[in-house]
Structure 1
Amino acid sequence: MTDKRSAGKWLFWVLFALLVLAALYFTLRPDPVWVDLVPAARGAMEVSITEEGKTRVKDRYLVSSPVAGYLHRVSLEVGDTVAPGQLLTEVDPMPASVLDARSRAEAEARVGAARSALNSARQKVAAAEAEAIFAASELTRLQALSGKHFVSEDRLEQAEAADERAQAILRSARFDEEVMAHELSAARTRLEVSAARTSGNGAVERVEVRSPVNGAILGIVRKSEGVIQAGEPILEVGDPGALEVVVEVLSFDAVKLTPGVRARLTGWGGQMLEASVRRVEPVGFEDISALGVDEQRVQVVADIVSPVDEWKMLGDGYRVDATFVLWEADDVLRIPASAIFEHEGTHHVFRAVEDRARLTPVVTGRSNGLYTVVRSGLSEGDGVVRHPDRQLEDGGRIRGR
């Protein structure tokens, strides 16, 4: 009887000790780490670059004034269609300036001086005419005597030379008279024709400015009339049906783009459009981002390849979102990029196996920042830990949220 009681006591204390140890184990053991689990799944994936761009007419023509003068008001509006050779505007000669009291007095004095000079020239013409008449009559008289051998040959030659000299002096005097007459006319014009006193009798010589191409008005630089200098821009024309897209891309991304890369255009208010890269500019420029960071950017030019009917409402300078597709695949094994980390120089993930985190090496492929292609190390459906923290160790207990 005593032996049975002793055995029962020992059994009781052994069970009590086991229960205590079990309680201590479950009390002191570390709690499982709460994690976000995502399965490795197969699906389509692409690597792309998305930037904001704007449309631009390919061939733009800046129409400038061919001469200096007075520009007529441009009656056309932005968007109006034009044909080659169509009259856009006209340029008149520069209007005369207004004469103040001093300038008018000077002009009147010049008129008087020119009139006096003309009178002087007329007197010289009269004197030259008299000399020419006398020289001609003298030559005629000597020629008549020469036939009767009363005049020597030398005397006759002198008379001929004197006649030619007198005729030349007369012609010169008449030229001087014409010059003085023109100077008097110019002085009178300066006095009589000004912005305040315009005769308006003569025909105004105008220079016509015509459209060089078939298209539409893209912009009007100078709409109001007024004085314009030669080469000063008036308006801009081009064909709005020939659009291209200009996108400013970071230089880090621009080196990944080549002519022919496919692009998608969205965010312009219509359906998605297909485009193709035509040119990557070889020169970059510095730009400041919205956060105030200096960035080196490159302009990428793309052509719209979708039918014109799908984007006929697009115009010059419209905003679009351009997505350049660098790589794409229809069926690949992918996991979130945030689940991958480096361990001992290679890529690893924590794979969930029976509520345990198992450190698993993986071979990765393309990544678009959100998802990464897994070439080996995982199978479809394997759960991996997204955003693993430092508390997580190989074999550690985990619990999914």
Structure 2
Amino acid sequence: MRFFTRRHILGAILVAVLATLAWVAFRPQPVPVDLAMVTRGTLEVTVEAEGVTQIRQIYQVSAPLTGYAARSPVDVGDPVVAGETVVAAIAPAAPAFLDARARQEAEAAVTVGEAALSAADARVDQSASDLEYAQAQYKRSEALAGRGVIPQSSLDDAALRLHVAETALAAAKSEREMARATLTRAKAALIDPTFGDAGASDEACCIRIRAPADGRILSIVNRSARLVQAGEPLLDIGKPDELEVEVELLSSDAVRVSPGAAAHVERWGGPALSALLRRVDPSAFTKVSALGIEEQRVRAYLDFDGPVEDRAALGDNFRIYVRIVAWRGDDVLMVPVSALFRDGGDWAVFRLAGDRAELARVEIGHRNARDGEVLAGLSEGDRVVTFPGDRVQAGTLVVERMTDSAGN
């Protein structure tokens, strides 16, 4: 009897051990998951786009006439004062080269001019002689008329001839000046082109362009001395402190924001800057995206809302990233978007209930790329599974995934 009892006790122990091993081997293993907490806070729904900074008012200085621009007297970044700082100097352009036929024509014109001047000199001499004779005749007639030898009409005729001679001399001198000017013009056509900026230092022949506004030199088209055409851009002037932001929004996003909306300027190389939406253009334009898709875009403009010192390193045409606030709520119950998924036509999450995942349907209001507004279905402090996989179902045993201090 004693032997039978001992054998049964040993058998019972063996069965218990085997049962324990079987339970351990076949019991459900908890699924490691990432958990997040439902919290309250500020939620912003934003419209995001890339953009560039630009100076609000840029003054472009252009060449007023065709000529030879001297090397730029200013450098990019130099401060300028309106009406005082000389930003460019332009001298008249050198004459063009003459081909053989044009040179012969010019030389012939010089010969004609010299002959015309000689003829004009001869007419002046002749008119001067006629005037001397008319003056002598008038004096003689005046003396005779004074003694009553000749009638008054003869004296009047002498006075008329004197006036005609004076007029003829004046006309001859004018013709001589015209001939001299014509000769000068003909000789000017034979002046050979000159090179360099020899004429740029001559105050009489050089146009000095002064800054049209206060500010700094933003860009110079070409600093070297060169020939420029009338209307050709030379440089740009602006005030770096007067920066604005230009972004191109999708038309579907543009209707969600309005002037006065707050915005965040990021990814420019410094801390985020605050800005305000100033204007949204009333007209859109078509732009082809990098994927070859035609999109309707709308330009929007923002003003920085903060001290200039915060963006001192930000300049013209810098690339930035803008988030314009379309909606903002304070003390909003929020759940991470990564925890949301569709269950039929409703939003749902897996909420932690003890050590198991519980399916909870939720009503979501506003949401952004990170969080969603919970209208119903969850409470503050609830813990939900983020990025649930196929292994997580309602009632699944779960355990929070632990990460080491290095974040691996």
Report the TM-score, using the length of structure 2 for normalisation.
0.76
Aligned residues of 2:244 and 2:302 also touching (Cα < 8 A): yes
The correspondence of residues 281-360 of structure 1 with structure 2, limited to 5 A, is 281-335=281-335, 338-339=340-341, 343=345, 349=348
Q: Measured at CA, do residues 267 and 143 of structure 1 come closer, stay the same or move farther in structure 2, by a change above 3 Å?
A: same
Aligned residues of 1:52 and 1:322 also touching (Cα < 8 A): yes
What is the distance in 2 between the residues matched to 1:112 and 1:318? 64
What is the distance in 2 between the residues matched to 1:205 and 1:182? 20
The answer for the alignment partner of 1:173 in structure 2 is 172
Aligned residues of 1:42 and 1:331 also touching (Cα < 8 A): no
Identity among equivalent positions (%) equals 34
* 1:287-341 deviation line (CA, Å, top 9, x unaligned): 1222221111112211222322222111111111111122223322334664456
Counterpart residue type for residue 263 of structure 1: A
The answer for the alignment partner of 1:77 in structure 2 is 75
Q: Measured at CA, do residues 341 and 331 of structure 1 come closer, stay the same or move farther in structure 2, by a change above 3 Å?
A: farther
The alignment partner of 1:399 has SS state of coil
The alignment partner of 1:168 has SS state of helix
The answer for the alignment partner of 1:13 in structure 2 is none
Q: Measured at CA, do residues 334 and 127 of structure 1 come closer, stay the same or move farther in structure 2, by a change above 3 Å?
A: same
Counterpart residue type for residue 51 of structure 2: G
Matched, 1:135 2:134: yes
The answer for the alignment partner of 1:67 in structure 2 is 65
* 1:134-174 deviation line (CA, Å, top 9, x unaligned): 22222222222222333333333232222211211111011
Task: Return the offset for 1:363.
Answer: 5.2
Q: Measured at CA, do residues 356 and 129 of structure 1 come closer, stay the same or move farther in structure 2, by a change above 3 Å?
A: closer
1:54 equivalent among 52, 55, 58 = 52
The answer for the alignment partner of 1:158 in structure 2 is 157
* 1:172-193 deviation line (CA, Å, top 9, x unaligned): 01111121122223333333x3
* 1:87-124 deviation line (CA, Å, top 9, x unaligned): 22211111123334433333322222111111111221
What is the distance in 2 between the residues matched to 1:341 and 1:154? 131
What is the distance in 1 between the residues matched to 2:317 and 2:264? 18
What is the distance in 2 between the residues matched to 1:172 and 1:350? 109
Unaligned runs of at least 5 residues, structure 1 = 1-33, 390-395
Task: Return the offset for 1:359.
Answer: 8.6
Aligned residues of 2:70 and 2:89 also touching (Cα < 8 A): yes
Range moving further from structure 2, 168-177 or 157-166 = 157-166
Matched, 1:215 2:215: yes
Counterpart residue type for residue 40 of structure 2: G
Task: Return the offset for 1:356.
Answer: 10
The answer for the alignment partner of 1:183 in structure 2 is 182
Q: Measured at CA, do residues 341 and 135 of structure 1 come closer, stay the same or move farther in structure 2, by a change above 3 Å?
A: farther
Task: Return the offset for 1:196.
Answer: 5.6
The alignment partner of 2:329 has SS state of strand
Q: Measured at CA, do residues 87 and 144 of structure 1 come closer, stay the same or move farther in structure 2, by a change above 3 Å?
A: same
The alignment partner of 1:279 has SS state of strand
The alignment partner of 2:281 has SS state of strand
Query: Would you say how many aligned residue pairs link Structure 1 and Structure 2?
Result: 357
Task: Return the offset for 1:72.
Answer: 0.7
Q: Measured at CA, do residues 60 and 348 of structure 1 come closer, stay the same or move farther in structure 2, by a change above 3 Å?
A: closer
Aligned residues of 2:265 and 2:272 also touching (Cα < 8 A): yes
Task: Return the offset for 1:127.
Answer: 1.9
Aligned residues of 1:142 and 1:156 also touching (Cα < 8 A): yes
What is the distance in 1 between the residues matched to 2:349 and 2:214? 65
* 1:348-389 deviation line (CA, Å, top 9, x unaligned): 6588798898896x6543232554323345544678899999
Range moving further from structure 2, 78-87 or 247-256 = 78-87
Counterpart residue type for residue 38 of structure 2: A
Aligned residues of 2:360 and 2:377 also touching (Cα < 8 A): no
The answer for the alignment partner of 1:11 in structure 2 is none
Counterpart residue type for residue 88 of structure 1: V
What is the distance in 2 between the residues matched to 1:341 and 1:163? 122
Aligned residues of 1:39 and 1:381 also touching (Cα < 8 A): no
What is the distance in 1 between the residues matched to 2:107 and 2:36? 102
Aligned residues of 1:52 and 1:321 also touching (Cα < 8 A): yes
What is the distance in 2 between the residues matched to 1:197 and 1:282? 53
Counterpart residue type for residue 42 of structure 1: T
What is the distance in 2 between the residues matched to 1:175 and 1:215? 54
Counterpart residue type for residue 128 of structure 1: S
Task: Return the offset for 1:59.
Answer: 1.8
What is the distance in 2 between the residues matched to 1:130 and 1:145? 23
What is the distance in 1 between the residues matched to 2:195 and 2:331? 86
What is the distance in 2 between the residues matched to 1:376 and 1:359? 10
Task: Return the offset for 1:63.
Answer: 0.9
Counterpart residue type for residue 332 of structure 2: V
Matched, 1:41 2:34: no
State the superposition RMSD in angstroms: 3.5
The alignment partner of 1:166 has SS state of helix
What is the distance in 2 between the residues matched to 1:65 and 1:121? 43
